[in-house]
A and B are shown apart, each in its own frame.
Chain A
């Protein structure tokens, strides 16, 4: 296997690792660090596809390394593992995730309560159209695979990216949230949802099977009507 070593101007280095049954890509990266080179830097936490911290580029595609079996992705017994694309490389397989999370904030990804704890708990019908739309997009765990896979992020550094816009879409559909207008304004600005070309790499590669392209299309419609009505 070859692993990216160094910072932005690093290079791929080759390592020989034993092939075992039921081996994940994270297992072989860990093998290298524990047995061949303890200076290898990479990020992981849960190892079971819940935390979203172990995403790397595996044979050219961004993937969760903990949930990717070597047997499924190795070509002729070889693997090439690099850091996620579209993010600055800190060292080896670790990227600086700050731009990704800063864009979440730019897209107003934080819930803004419209009531206080003194108010009655709001009843949300699970079968209401807004709740169905929010539920379809809610399971994002911020692994940044969609962000690394997105051509528009690569071309336009101001673009908020699929994850931040997908998050904005869940909040726009949350009737309890009190910042819809500000959020629509944020995602309708330059670099917002209208920069998306609908290439759909995000939904193709999302390990949670979410469809950020559909969320972004929803935001395009909502912001367009809000703009035509003079609300934003």
Chain B
């Protein structure tokens, strides 16, 4: 890992940490209040707040995980920087697409 990747990983971690807390609180709230899927969708659909909250979450998590997976690959597999970077980037794109699809599904009206 070089300093550029280090800064990106730390920055995205700093973004993700509070978002995870809010996310967990939301899960507790939804389950304790017994909200149905329809109740949840009624709150999230068309909401710019939830769209940006989970949009930022997905982007930050995809970048953060890509750098982490790249590090794991360079240390634990025979792949070098370039090969590990390509494979991890592919994983990051997949992660982003899956996350973006989920966000779109709950926030689009």
B3/A227 in contact, CB under 8 A = yes
Report Cα–Cα, A224/B1, bound state, in Å. 13
The residue of chain B having its C-beta at the shortest distance from the C-beta of A220 within the complex is B6
Are A188 and B3 within 8 A (Cβ)? yes
Measured CB to CB, the closest approach of chain B to A2, in angstroms, equals 31
Q: Is the CB of A152 within 8 A of B75?
A: yes
B window 1-45: CB within 8 A of A: 1-7, 10
Does A195 touch B at the CB level, under 8 Å? Answer: yes
Q: Chain A at the B interface: mostly helix, strand, loop or mixed? A: helix
Residue of A155, A195, A228, A232 touching B1 (CB-CB under 8 A): A195
Across the interface, B75 reaches (CB within 8 A) one of A156, A188, A228, namely: A156
Query: How many residues from B make CB contacts under 8 Å with A?
Result: 13
Using CB atoms, name the residue of chain A closest to B1: A194
- CA A194 – CA B70 in complex, angstroms? 13
- B75 touching A194, Cβ below 8 Å: no
Q: Determine how close the nearest CB of chain B comes to the CB of A161; give it in whole angstroms.
A: 14
The count of residues in chain A whose C-beta lies closer than 8 Å to any C-beta of chain B is 15
Contact status of A188 and B2, CB under 8 A, knowing A224-B7, A227-B7: yes
Q: Which of A156, A194, A195, A228 has the most CB of B within 10 A?
A: A194
B75 and A224 contacting across the interface, CB-CB below 8 Å = no
Give the shortest distance, in Å, between A106 (CB) and chain B (any CB): 14
Report if A190-B76 is in contact (Cβ < 8 Å); known contacts: A195-B1, A220-B6, A228-B7: no
Docked-complex contact B1 and A190, CB < 8 angstroms = yes
- Could you say which of B3, B6, B10, B76 contacts A155, with CB atoms under 8 Å apart? B76
> Nearest chain B CB to A172's CB is how many angstroms away?
14
CB nearest neighbor in B for A188: B3
| A157 smallest CB distance to B (angstroms) | 10
Contact A190/B2 with A224-B7, A227-B7, A228-B7 known, Cβ cut-off 8 Å: yes
Which residues does chain B contribute within 8 Å of A51, judged by CB atoms?
none
Min CB gap A168→B, angstroms: 14
Give the distance in Å from the alpha carbon of A46 to the alpha carbon of B71 in the complex. 41
User: A213 an interface residue at 8 Å Cβ cutoff?
Assistant: no
* B-binding residues in A (CB < 8 A): 152, 155-156, 188-190, 192, 194-195, 220, 223-224, 227-228, 232
Task: Name 15 interchain pairs, CB-CB below 8 A, sorted by A.
Answer: A155-B76, A156-B75, A188-B2, A190-B81, A192-B2, A192-B3, A194-B1, A194-B5, A220-B6, A223-B3, A224-B6, A224-B10, A227-B7, A228-B7, A232-B3
Using a CB–CB cutoff of 8 Å, the interface residues on chain B facing chain A are: 1-7, 10, 71, 74-76, 81
